[in-house]
């Protein structure tokens, strides 16, 4: 298989995966690019060499409860330093991941796009995000947690055993208590039993793949949709071997997702401008910023372009006010403008039009 065919395959793999899991459902059970009942334990081991087995406190059906949830292996999960705040739990009947535990280290987007920081998320904050959960107080008699759930996700708040009586629930008291964890769950058996399995075979002629600086097996690509990809860089022949040695004799493909690229350019611009760091204190907070690259107003699919900027080609960064933004560029829906000047990255496809 040549590199051109493989690049086409990159774009087709997510489409093939959608044939297994409806797109609307996949969005509900995907977090940080990991989709329940699509990501396997083998995928995780390929992408995270430090993956290790860890104990998991089950907050719904705890150890003392009669019976256990049949959707996953209870009490045991897998974590990696590359995926802070995530613990993956395996399906009981297969190698698929059927549950992902979000711990208080988690900072990022939930499947529906809501951004949370579990280190300081209180129940009242959760209810503001999801008013429909306000009346969904639940707990098994054997559990030490209140459970706020829908069909795929559960949020847990610890029950205070000293609070007497427990019923009626003192909702005002618990509103200021922290959300201890979040579980994303799905029954892979019910989802997969009538669906054909897609098998990806290794080939001695395949190039080496990296996604977000992590070496992966090519079948991991099925976890990504084309619209999630910021850039694809292909190295062939001697240029590939120079970067990675004989292992890359068939080529080297670097893929960066939009989330990874965004974090990359955000950190870089912060290092170049204290003012930028104050205006954009977190990766997600640049929604009120309009980026302008070499006089070109960036509207969409620009993450890979900004992430390609480095010290070799960077020239300058300037913050402009909303008034200047309106006057000079006709942009009315942003609070500030960030003007970046840069040379064209070497070997960037269609670089003259992008820069």
* pLDDT over threshold 90, residue 290: yes
Question: Measured between alpha carbons, how far is 74 from 212 in angstroms, rounded to an integer?
Answer: 30
- Shared domain for 298 and 153, answered yes or no, is no
Where does a domain end: 167, 192, 217? Answer: 192
- Shared domain for 41 and 178, answered yes or no, is yes
The reply to whether 134 falls in a domain is yes
Q: Which of 99-103, 143-147, 209-213 has the highest mean pLDDT?
A: 99-103
Note the residue count of the chain. 355
The reply to whether 210 falls in a domain is no
User: In the chain, what percentage of residues exceed pLDDT 90?
Assistant: 40
Do the Cβ atoms of 300 and 323 come closer than 8 Å?
no
Where does a domain end: 192, 211, 230? Answer: 192
Question: Measured between alpha carbons, how far is 215 from 212 in angstroms, rounded to an integer?
Answer: 8
The reply to whether 249 falls in a domain is no
| Domain hosting residue 326, numbered range | 268-354
- Shared domain for 186 and 282, answered yes or no, is no
* pLDDT over threshold 70, residue 187: yes
Residue 223: pLDDT band (50, 70, 90) is low
- Shared domain for 272 and 186, answered yes or no, is no
The reply to whether 220 falls in a domain is no
* pLDDT over threshold 70, residue 337: yes
The reply to whether 43 falls in a domain is yes
Sign of the CA dihedral running 303, 219, 14, 233: positive
Mean pLDDT of the chain: 83
Show the tokens assigned to 137. 């107080």
Show the tokens assigned to 355. 């820069």
Question: Measured between alpha carbons, how far is 284 from 278 in angstroms, rounded to an integer?
Answer: 13
Do the Cβ atoms of 315 and 269 come closer than 8 Å?
no
What strands, in cross-sheet order, belong to the sheet with 314-320?
A: 296-297, 289-293, 336-342, 314-320
The reply to whether 281 falls in a domain is yes
- Shared domain for 275 and 188, answered yes or no, is no
- Shared domain for 42 and 158, answered yes or no, is yes
* pLDDT over threshold 50, residue 107: yes
The reply to whether 213 falls in a domain is no
* pLDDT over threshold 50, residue 45: yes
pTM of the model as a whole: 0.53
What is the DSSP annotation of 60-86? Answer: SS-TTSSS--TTS-TTEEEE-TTSTTE
- Shared domain for 173 and 312, answered yes or no, is no
Residue 54, domain CATH: 2.60.460
- Shared domain for 40 and 187, answered yes or no, is yes
The reply to whether 202 falls in a domain is no
pLDDT at 313: 92
pLDDT in tens, 228-254: 889 888 888 888 888 777 878 888 888
- Shared domain for 181 and 279, answered yes or no, is no
* Surface-to-core class of residue 22, CB atoms within 10 Å of its CB (0-12 exposed, 13-18 middle, 19+ buried): exposed
Please tell me the total count of domains within the chain: 2
pLDDT at 126: 96
- Shared domain for 37 and 164, answered yes or no, is yes
- Shared domain for 183 and 54, answered yes or no, is yes
pLDDT in tens, 260-287: 888 889 889 989 999 998 888 877 778 8
Show the tokens assigned to 338. 């960030």
- Shared domain for 274 and 168, answered yes or no, is no
Where does a domain end: 192, 219, 253? Answer: 192
pLDDT, mean of residues 304-328: 93
pLDDT in tens, 51-90: 999 999 999 887 766 556 778 888 999 999 989 999 999 9
Show the tokens assigned to 151. 């069909």
């Amino acid at each position: 298989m040549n590199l051109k065919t493989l690049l086409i395959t990159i774009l087709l793999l997510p489409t093939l995966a959608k044939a297994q899991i409806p797109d609307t459902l996949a969005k509900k059970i995907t977090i940080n690019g990991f989709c329940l009942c699509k990501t396997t334990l083998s995928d995780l081991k390929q992408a995270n060499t430090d993956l290790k087995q860890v104990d998991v406190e089950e907050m719904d059906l705890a150890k003392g409860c009669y019976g256990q949830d049949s959707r996953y292996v209870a009490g045991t999960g897998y974590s990696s330093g590359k995926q802070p705040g995530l613990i993956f739990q395996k399906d009981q009947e297969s190698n698929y991941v059927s549950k992902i535990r979000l711990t208080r280290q988690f900072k990022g987007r939930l499947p529906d796009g809501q951004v949370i920081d579990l280190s300081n998320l209180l129940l009242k904050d959760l209810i503001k995000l999801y008013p429909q959960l306000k009346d969904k107080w639940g707990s098994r008699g054997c559990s030490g947690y209140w459970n706020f759930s829908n069909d795929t996700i559960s949020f847990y708040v610890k029950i205070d055993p000293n609070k007497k009586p427990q019923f009626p629930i003192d909702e005002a008291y618990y509103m200021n208590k922290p959300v201890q964890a979040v579980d994303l769950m799905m029954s892979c058996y019910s989802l997969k039993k009538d669906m054909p399995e897609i098998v990806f075979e290794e080939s001695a002629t395949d190039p080496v793949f990296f996604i977000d600086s992590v070496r992966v097996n090519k079948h991991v690509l099925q976890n990504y949709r084309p619209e999630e990809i910021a850039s694809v860089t292909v190295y062939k022949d001697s240029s590939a071997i120079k970067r990675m040695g004989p292992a890359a004799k068939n080529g080297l493909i670097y893929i960066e997702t939009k989330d990874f690229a965004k974090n990359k350019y955000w950190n870089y611009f912060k290092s170049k401008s204290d003012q930028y760091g104050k205006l954009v204190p977190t990766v997600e907070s640049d929604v009120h910023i309009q980026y302008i690259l070499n006089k070109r107003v960036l509207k969409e699919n620009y993450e890979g372009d900004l992430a390609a900027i480095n010290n070799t080609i960077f020239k300058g960064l300037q913050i402009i006010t909303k008034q200047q933004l309106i006057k000079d560029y006709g942009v009315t829906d942003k609070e500030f403008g960030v003007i970046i000047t840069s040379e064209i990255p070497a070997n960037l496809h269609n670089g003259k039009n992008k820069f």
